[in-house]
Structure 1
């Protein structure tokens, strides 16, 4: 998105080829956004297995040819939505940890909890997408994709919880603790995504963070 804005700005003054390229980039970005928005709606309404390309195309107002050009089909849309959500969760958690460090926090458990809170907040803010992926339904290979992602999160959490010694190999107790805490966060995300309202979601997040601190210590 930053690239498209730069191109549009640089070409706006002279109307040259760079401006034309920026407009094409922006149109492609708008097309992808419309397709992903429609796909999420249809997946949420029908479930992945029963979702149809025709309905996604109808809701998006984009041609079926463009859908296949950008995503290759229904599975590609699912993967793109999943990658978008997980990237936002990871970025939000990383930003929270970084902000806590800048404020002078050095306790690994406090930093871990700050990241977990931010991650869980995204589960509420993006609850429609979170519900879709937490349900476990998806195209062939999606379970492996989620398992690989979980392993990545466990490794990151293990490193964070170990503090200054995070670059050294972790022992079995530390690995198991990280596995348990990451699993708690994942299950909590499911509850938060299905909460009745924001107040309930916030209460669950607060309680989960208290539990994480007790378990980690």
Structure 2
């Protein structure tokens, strides 16, 4: 049996950072941001307090890293679901469905739609959304406009309004709303963007 190759400093640093983010995410979901202390986080991650402050200035900076990672994962799931869709309209619907599926995973609605804006502020969350989930939506809308599947409208306001509808839907489903009914309405909203006289369906 060959000896395992020792990890490099870069690998150790990344492993420590990953452990802190994963431990913090679990605690923030289970107990809330306010009720979670940094001693609990370092204990759960199996690292020292010094390691925490080497990577993050404070608990809020660690929370920011958690939110950034979760937002990136949501965008990845949207992109995977949209690949291979037949039409621009189907891509938008598939992306919206993937968003709702991704947000249904344990703790994401709370982290991204409730605690995120409260702790980091709306402006910071808008920047994060712009790099991840809203970016995928914007790209889908632009592609649909270029293909003539939806009317040409100002992209940023359209992205913001549809994103708000999807966020509200995720919150409603989390609170016990009927997922099928909400998804039907969201699909109808997308179809309503079709050029006049076009049902926008494949």
TM-score (norm 1): 0.69
Q: Is the 8 A contact 2:116 2:125 kept in 1?
A: no
TM-score (norm 2): 0.74
Could you tell me how far 1:90 is from its partner in structure 2? 0.9
CA contact (8 A) 1:93 1:119 kept: yes
What's the secondary structure of 1:31's corresponding residue? helix
Structure 2 partner of 1:5: none
* Distance in 1 separating the partners of 2:158 and 2:116: 28
Tell whether 2:34 aligns with 1:49.
yes
Q: Does 1:186 align with 2:167?
A: yes
Offset at residue 87 of structure 1 (A): 0.7
Give the aligned length. 185
What is the Cα-based RMSD across aligned positions, in Å?
3.1
Distance 2:119 2:159 in 1: 28
Aligned pairs for 1:122-201 within 5 A: 122-125=102-105, 127-137=106-116, 141-150=120-129, 153=134, 155-164=138-147, 170-172=152-154, 177-193=158-174
Q: CA deviation at 1:88?
A: 1.0
Q: Which runs of 5+ in 2 are unaligned?
A: 192-202
User: What runs of 5+ residues in structure 1 fail to find an aligned partner?
Assistant: 1-12
Larger % of helix: which?
1
